[in-house]
Amino acid sequence: MTLSKTEQNIIEKAIRDVPDFPKPGIIFKDITTLLGNKEAFGVLMNHLYQRYKEYNLDYIAGIDARGFIFGAALAQMLGIGFVPVRKRGKLPSTTISEKYSLEYGFDEIEIHLDAFSGVSHARVLLIDDLIATGGTANAAANLITKAGATCVEACFIISLEFLDGVKNLQQKTDVYSLIKVS
């Protein structure tokens, strides 16, 4: 299931471009305006619900921090659990972690070791607001697998196609992006 042209226009118009943030030459895709637009957020969440209601998911894993917003809302709509994928040192219990490359070094994300306990071979949807180079998303997909679950798809509101993050992640799981920026 994909967005209709009307739905795509409603969502795209609700996302603000912020030039030169966080540094000169970058056009930041700001989804806070989407969150504040009840029509656009409703269209988005209804679309995601319709797309994923037949996937037989057990959990949604949302990447820190914007993935928490979309992931938790969608998990509630689908009647399933939500698992936060957090930056290192933010989770209170035993965790597993995965490092990933950044343009200036490395970073690390974690999930609880028992994030998917109680569900054998849990089916998980990974979600975040945007995929660029795919480092965080690839690390999150690896964590889902390390925790004994299956990442059945990764979903992003926006994908920056020119940075090849989707292409890299597709080697691990299916990828769905609502808005593609070339």
- Per-residue pLDDT tens for 148-169? 999 999 999 999 999 999 999 9
- Identify the residue whose tokens are 């299931």: 1
Distance in angstroms (rounded) separating the CA atoms of residues 78 and 101: 33
- Strand, coil or helix: what is 18? strand
Q: Model-level pTM?
A: 0.96
Residue 149 identity:
A
| CATH code, 55-181 | 3.40.50.2020
pLDDT computed for residue 165 by the predictor: 94
Write out pLDDT tens, residues 1-32.
Answer: 889 999 999 999 999 999 999 999 999 999 99
Report the C-alpha gap between 180 and 182 in whole angstroms: 6
Structure tokens at 98: 């995965």
The residue among 106, 151, 90, 109 whose CA lies nearest residue 126 is: 151
Domain segments of the chain: what residues? 55-181
Q: What percent of the chain shows pLDDT beyond 90?
A: 93
CB 96 within 8 A of CB 83: no
Phi, psi torsion values for 147, nearest 5 degrees: -85, 5
Distance, CA of 83 to CA of 59 (rounded, Å): 7
Give me Rg for the CA atoms of the chain.
16
Is residue 104 predicted with pLDDT exceeding 80? no
What pLDDT does residue 61 have? 98
The chain-wide mean pLDDT, for the chain, equals 96
